[in-house]
Chains A and B, each alone.
Chain A
Amino acid sequence: MRHIISLLMENEAGALSRVSGLFSARGYNIESLSVAPTEDPSLSRMTIVTSGSDDVIEQIIKQLNKLIEVIKVIDLNDGEHIEREMMLVKVKAGEAEREEAKRMADIFRGRIIDVSDQSYTIELTGTVAKLDAFLAAIDRNWILETVRTGASGIGRGARMLRI
């Protein structure tokens, strides 16, 4: 099953490679991984989307906790949470595609953030599934380039990850 794991760790050189090295060394899946400093610059927050059986997820969380620089780990799937990813898609927008591309962007509540006579760049935010749906909905041949941030997640309401 797909899980979103969030963690706080010391914002130190090499900390990211300890996490990514752990995943490759133990054969765990990474669907996406995103990391950036928090409001406290000594801390980094990382979101890892992974999949595995309950036993594997349990081991992943234990192994992450074992890393000396990791301070706290939660599995967002243990409770209510919100998930968002951002994607930038450059699509063909010549005479033939222009109207339809704009319409698709609107349907998915995307914003066109760059325009040229041959292309649009559309910014889309949503769950990973929504972004996947956009890519499936638009004519494959129109897609020139995509870049995605990987998912970020946060617990709902009082559910927080902080030290």
Chain B
Amino acid sequence: MELTGAEIVLRCLQEEGVEHVFGYPGGAVLFIYDEFFKQDKVKHILTRHEQGAVHAADGYSRSTKKVGVALVTSGPGATNAVTGIATAYMDSIPMVIISGQVPTPAIGLDAFQEVDTVGITRPCVKHNFLVKDVKDIASTMKKAFYLASTGRPGPVLVDIPKDITQHKTEFVYPESVSLRSYNPVTKGHPGQIRRALQLILEAKRPMVYTGGGITLSNASGELAEFVRMMNFPCTNTLMGLGGYPATDRQFLGMLGMHGTYEANMAMQECDVLIAIGARFDDRVIGNPEHFFNPARKIIHIDIDPSSISKRVRVDVPIVGNVQDVLQEMLKALNSSRERVDAAALESWWKQIEEWRSRDCLKYDRQSKLIKPQMVVEKLYEVTGGDAFVTSDVGQHQMWAAQFYKFDKPRRWINSGGLGTMGFGLPAAMGVQVANPGAKVACVTGEGSIQMCIQELSTCKQYHLPIKIIALNNRYLGMVRQWQEFFHGNRYSESYMDALPDFVKLAESYGHVGMRIESPSDVEGALKEAFALEDRLVFMDFVTDQAENVFPMVPGGKGLSEMILV
């Protein structure tokens, strides 16, 4: 039986086991939406902005490992989606974005709501397709899901002109897909693994540094086994938090621009650095020339060859899926009789503990003003450390990363690479849709939350009981902090004037609003909010305006040149 292109799109989603699509209708996707109406296997979540739809699909994916799916119309629908797509691309999140396009005869004629979506998104997708024949929809969708979820994952966009969704053809969903030009490696090179193990066993001051790749390849179990077996110290990047249990003694906290003193010092001073699923980016290692140390050997395990020796020369590159490589390494270590130099390791740990005793994350706990760090600490306590925490971008993001101790992967969900303000709330929606009943908190600021505030309406429609923790300091805090440190206290355009009454705003959307002004009320308010299990609660914490994020590695400086409290 022949099906229309629109029917085929829905059948493909069903074949891929897609349960939720986040989207926003419009002219070019009307036939696809008509098919949503006629079936109930794939649920559609209507957001209030296409950026929200893509971030929600992104949060859905990050919290589950499933491919997130978003559907938008042509022209402004697609351009609104671009920020979300770029966010997912920078963090290697598997997603399929379906965009409508003007009918094929109208392409290139500046038609209503026409934009070159494939051209605009090309630099921020893993791959994209323009489908020009109804016969190609099924195979293109199959390829899209395959590309998005294999190798180094990423968003894949499928642009479908409106007339193609009306045309008819036989529907056959391909069982498998193979592309001669795309064969991602999985297994690491055995010779390289041997060389790495040799270095690891000879290490006197080892350090394990892991990123989002651990989460993406579900390798946190293997990582913990490796780190514990070796008694090595371990740090996670912002993207990698939860990859190694934060409450473990061997965890040194996050590294980088706002990383801990002990993690950054150990990165700088180690003699063998084992980098796994991480990419040495500028916020992580600071100035690469300062980071460079010929006496330090670097092992780098990553699925993407282009991540290796991009910013930092490494000694033993291992290209492969980090889970596979770690399993191979564990196998070899388990059968080896060689052991690391225990005495050297002991004195290395002594050094690390000395750095740790610097207590670099300390803050004034007696303050009469609400300290943002304290709110995150209380959030951790009240949720038993077991919530999904999304965040936006800025100071609140760093405090959440520093003070919420993530013991499990996929619990900390933030825009690490692109640094997208407005990510937190829609991402939390995706997390809550994927994990009904789970505690989902969005740690945000009064600046970021206003970038996608309209999604409060979506939360009402779909009964998403997210807890919004707004650390409201009336400033674009991170901008203000840089202006204080590097621009002579000239707070140019970083004061958030004319803020809405967030309590009333939340109420007008049908939610619960709270304003918390005293440190003594923080814990009670959080408990009260999380007790309202079926309601979204917007908690407006009025925090200390002058608080800064420490430690801090200033731009262009080295990891050991931190500003400390």
Residues in A lying within 8 Å of B, measured CB to CB: 9-10, 13-14, 17-18, 21, 25, 55, 58-59, 62-63, 65-66, 68-71, 163
Interface with A: B174-182, B455-463, B478-486, B512-520, which one?
B174-182
* Shortest Cβ-Cβ A-B pairs, 8 listed: A62-B306, A71-B181, A68-B127, A62-B305, A25-B123, A66-B306, A68-B182, A63-B306
Show 22 A/B contacts (Cβ-Cβ < 8 Å), sorted by A.
A10-B181, A13-B130, A14-B118, A17-B122, A18-B122, A21-B123, A25-B123, A55-B309, A55-B313, A58-B309, A59-B306, A62-B305, A62-B308, A63-B306, A65-B306, A66-B304, A66-B306, A68-B126, A68-B181, A68-B182, A71-B180, A71-B181
**Residues on the B chain within 8 Å of A71, using CB:** 180-181
Number of cross-chain contacts by CB at 8 Å:
37
Chain A residues, CB < 8 A from B119: 17
Q: Is the CB of B306 within 8 A of A9?
A: no
CB distance A163 to B305 under 8 Å?
Answer: no
CB distance from B107 to the nearest CB of A (A): 12
- Docked CA distance A42–B545 (Å): 62
List 20 extra interface pairs beyond A10-B181, A18-B122, A163-B180, CB under 8 A: A9-B181, A14-B118, A17-B122, A21-B122, A55-B313, A58-B309, A62-B305, A62-B306, A62-B308, A63-B306, A66-B304, A66-B305, A66-B306, A68-B126, A68-B127, A68-B181, A69-B181, A70-B181, A71-B180, A71-B181
Within B179-214, which residues are at the interface with A (CB < 8 Å)?
179-182
In whole angstroms, what is the CA distance A65 to B185 when docked?
Answer: 13
Q: In angstroms, how far is the closest chain B Cβ from the Cβ of A33?
A: 17
From A21, A62, A68, name the one whose CB has the most chain B CB atoms within 10 angstroms.
A68
B504 beta carbon closer than 8 Å to chain A: no
A63 proximity list for chain B (CB < 8 A)? 306
Distance between Cα atoms of A69 and B127 in the complex (Å): 9
Q: How far is the CB of B282 from chain A (nearest CB, A)?
A: 15
- The A-contacting residues of B in range 125-182, CB under 8 angstroms, are 126-127, 130, 147, 179-182
Which residues of the other chain, B, contact A68 by a CB distance below 8 angstroms? 126-127, 147, 179, 181-182
A156–B127 Cα distance when bound, in Å, is 34
CB nearest neighbor in A for B308: A62
User: Whole-angstrom distance from the CB of A11 to the nearest CB of chain B?
Assistant: 11
Encode contact with A along B64-107: 1 for CB under 8 Å, 0 otherwise: 00000000000000000000000000000000000000000000
Q: How far is the CA of A82 from the CA of B158 in the complex (A)?
A: 41
A139 to chain B, nearest CB (A): 44
Please report the C-alpha to C-alpha distance between residue A9 and residue B182 in the assembled complex, in whole angstroms: 11
B310 contacts the other chain (CB 8 A): yes
Closest beta carbon of chain B to A136's beta carbon, Å: 38
Q: How many whole Å from A18's CB to the nearest CB in chain B?
A: 6
CB of B42, distance to nearest CB on chain A (Å)? 26
Q: Give complex CA distance A73, B147 in Å.
A: 20
- Give A147 to B308 CA distance when docked, in angstroms: 40
Complex formed: what's the CA distance from A14 to B305 in Å? 24
Q: Smallest distance from the beta carbon of A63 to chain B beta carbons, Å? A: 5
Q: Which residues of chain A come closer than 8 Å to B147, judged between CB atoms?
A: 68
Contact B310 A59 (CB under 8 A): yes
Question: Which of B181, B305, B313 has the most chain A CB within a 10 Å cutoff?
Answer: B181
Query: CB-nearest residue of chain A relative to B179?
Result: A68
- Closest B residue to A163 by CB, please name it: B180
The smallest C-beta distance from B249 to any residue of chain A, in angstroms, reads: 38
Contacts of A70 in B (CB 8 A): 181
User: Considering only CB atoms, which chain B residue lies closest to A60 in the complex?
Assistant: B306
